[in-house]
């Protein structure tokens, strides 16, 4: 199977953000996306961004246009949310985002009436119906198809860092799971999801797809749901490992880390260097540790099995790659990573709210809605002097 990789501008950025729709008073999810999407699609027909439905009717996805910078992409996201609010505010619908909803039950949710979603549920059954998960997807443009698989391999070392920063699903169906990111382990139950296979080059990727299509595992490359995957149609590497971010500045911070890492690895290849890929068993262990412990995890960071606290390794990475962030004009967004480390990730804030309210998960949902609505916009965040 020949799979062309589209032309894209190097280190350009696109962002997708999956958002929950909830009743303002109760915090329960509401399946209102089919009601509001027709108006939204008409209003936004000529905009750079898009607003679309997802697997469940309680979800909408806002997607940026292609940005030269992270700020440009996040600006699109902010504009899209403004349009959504014009329709949701009068209806008593609130927006929020986390990797999971703290108390919603799968059997109360409705699947969007599209053939692709019905096909997915028919095949995956209970696990498919349990996909009450929300995430972000960050696309970064790669100008040379021969770089794609090596960069994906190198990015896999940083999956625990990205998972820990974004972890926001400590509760599931009303229970405290003991995991920072329960979403990470739920999502990998789908047959084509989870960690990327350690492929060396584009020819191996095409051979993989040929095997999968020939045996009926998938219909086309869009059904590859890896934590990091090639997006041939867009000419990008797409990072899908992260839980849904709870605020816009946090979304910008994690997107900047993805952009900076991809550009850094691309420069190593330009200089004739090679990119280290961890053993697959280390990558798998790192994913579990980050899902379980979040920012308290210890990650395996090299092929010798060296273990480092994720926070310490992140701080070193931030300092090392800060010049790249400055060159990509995302230094202010990149600095937001330090804010997450200082303030705590969403899962930590949710657990603190639950503890302070005697385990009341409705208080956690109100906290998430409040953070999403009242937290600083990206423009306000960037206006603060450095």
Distance CA 124, CA 190 (A): 7
pLDDT higher than threshold 70 for residue 384: no
Distance CA 300, CA 285 (A): 8
Q: What is the pLDDT of residues 162-182, one digit of tens each?
A: 999 999 999 999 999 999 999
Count the Cβ atoms, other than its own, within 10 Å of residue 58.
Answer: 24
Domain for residue 221, yes or no?
yes
Domain for residue 8, yes or no?
no
Domain for residue 3, yes or no?
no
Nearest to 289 by CA among 192, 161, 194: 161
Q: State which H helix or E strand residue 86 sits in.
A: helix 70-88
Distance CA 48, CA 16 (A): 13
Distance CA 83, CA 47 (A): 11
Note the pLDDT of residue 374. Answer: 86
Distance CA 88, CA 94 (A): 7
% of the chain with per-residue pLDDT over 90: 95
Average per-residue pLDDT for the chain? 95
pLDDT higher than threshold 90 for residue 316: yes
Note the pLDDT of residue 284. Answer: 98
Note the pLDDT of residue 286. Answer: 98
Tokens 């794609």 correspond to what residue? 148
Note the pLDDT of residue 380. Answer: 56
Confidence band of 385 (pLDDT split at 50, 70, 90): very low
Range of the domain at 231: 13-383
Domain for residue 309, yes or no?
yes
Domain for residue 211, yes or no?
yes
Note the pLDDT of residue 155. Answer: 98
How many domains in the chain? Answer: 1
- Could you tell me which residues are beta bridge partners of residue 95? 21
Q: What is the CATH number of the domain that holds 80?
A: 3.30.590.20
Q: How much is the average pLDDT of 275-288?
A: 98
Nearest to 136 by CA among 181, 82, 85: 181
Q: How much is the average pLDDT of 224-245?
A: 98
Note the pLDDT of residue 173. Answer: 97
pLDDT higher than threshold 50 for residue 304: yes
Q: What is the 3-state secondary structure (H, E, C) of 39-68?
A: HHHHHCCCCCCEEEECCECCEEEEECCCEC
3-state class (DSSP) for residue 299:
strand
Q: What is the pLDDT of residues 194-231, one digit of tens each?
A: 999 999 999 999 999 999 999 999 988 899 999 999 99
Confidence band of 382 (pLDDT split at 50, 70, 90): low
Distance CA 154, CA 89 (A): 43
Domain for residue 5, yes or no?
no
- Could you tell me which residues are beta bridge partners of residue 94? 22
Q: What is the pLDDT of residues 67-91, one digit of tens each?
A: 999 999 999 999 999 999 999 999 9
φ, ψ (nearest 5 deg) of residue 169: -130, 60
Predicted TM-score (pTM) of this structure:
0.96
| Residue 193 neighbours by CB under 8 Å, 6+ apart | 187, 225, 226, 227
Please compute, for residue 120, the number of CA atoms within 13 A of its CA located in the half-sphere on the CB side.
24
Token pair for 99: 């990797």
Q: What is the pLDDT of residues 26-64, one digit of tens each?
A: 999 999 999 999 999 999 999 999 999 999 999 999 999
Domain for residue 105, yes or no?
yes
Distance CA 255, CA 124 (A): 30
| CA distances (Å), origin 144, targets 6, 8, 151, 274 | 10, 9, 11, 15
Q: How much is the average pLDDT of 247-272?
A: 98
Catalogue the long-range contacts made by 271-276 (C-beta closer than 8 Å, 24 or more residues apart).
274/150, 275/150, 275/151, 275/153, 275/154, 276/154, 276/157, 276/302, 276/303
373, exposed or middle or buried, with CB in 10 Å at 0-12, 13-18, 19+? middle
Token pair for 288: 């579990």
Note the pLDDT of residue 386. Answer: 41
DSSP label at residue 120: H
Count helices and strands (H / E) in the chain.
Answer: 14, 13
pLDDT higher than threshold 80 for residue 274: yes
% of the chain with per-residue pLDDT over 70: 97
Q: How much is the average pLDDT of 18-25?
A: 98
Domain for residue 145, yes or no?
yes
Note the pLDDT of residue 1. Answer: 87
Q: Which of 7-11, 108-112, 376-380 has the lowest mean pLDDT?
A: 376-380
């Amino acid at each position: 199977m020949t799979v062309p990789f589209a032309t894209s501008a190097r280190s350009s950025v696109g962002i997708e953000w999956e958002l929950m729709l909830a009743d303002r008073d109760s915090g329960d999810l509401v399946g209102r996306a089919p009601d509001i999407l027709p108006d939204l699609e008409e209003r936004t027909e000529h905009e750079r961004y898009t607003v679309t439905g997802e697997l469940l009717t309680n979800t909408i996805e806002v997607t940026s246009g292609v940005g030269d910078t992270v700020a440009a992409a996040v600006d699109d996201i902010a504009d899209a949310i403004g349009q959504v609010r014009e329709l949701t505010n009068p209806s008593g619908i609130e927006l929020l985002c986390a990797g999971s909803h703290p108390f919603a039950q799968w059997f109360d949710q409705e699947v969007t009436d599209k053939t692709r979603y019905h096909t997915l549920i028919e095949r995956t059954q209970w696990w498919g119906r349990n996909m009450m998960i929300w995430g972000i997807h960050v696309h970064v443009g790669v100008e040379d198809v021969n770089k794609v698989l090596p960069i994906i391999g190198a990015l896999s070392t940083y999956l625990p860092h990205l998972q820990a920063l974004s972890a926001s699903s400590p509760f599931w169906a009303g229970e405290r799971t003991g995991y920072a990111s329960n979403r990470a382990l739920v999502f990998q139950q789908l047959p084509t999801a989870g960690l990327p296979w350690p492929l060396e080059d584009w020819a191996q990727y095409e051979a993989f797809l040929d095997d999968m299509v020939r045996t009926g595992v998938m219909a086309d490359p869009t059904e590859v749901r890896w934590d990091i995957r090639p997006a041939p149609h867009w000419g990008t590497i797409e990072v899908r490992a992260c839980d849904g971010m709870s605020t816009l500045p946090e979304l910008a911070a994690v997107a900047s880390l993805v952009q900076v890492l991809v550009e850094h690895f691309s420069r190593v290849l330009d200089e004739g260097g090679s990119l280290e890929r961890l053993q697959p068993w280390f990558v798998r262990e790192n994913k579990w540790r980050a899902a379980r412990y979040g920012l308290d995890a210890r990650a395996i960071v090299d092929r010798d099995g060296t273990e480092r606290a994720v926070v310490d390794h992140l701080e070193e990475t931030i300092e090392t790659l800060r010049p790249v962030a400055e060159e990509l004009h995302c230094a202010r967004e990149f600095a937001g990573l330090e804010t997450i480390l200082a303030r705590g990730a969403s899962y930590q804030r949710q657990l603190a709210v639950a503890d302070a309210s005697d385990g009341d998960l409705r208080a956690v949902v109100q906290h998430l809605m409040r953070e999403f609505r009242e937290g600083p916009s990206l423009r306000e965040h960037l206006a603060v002097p450095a």
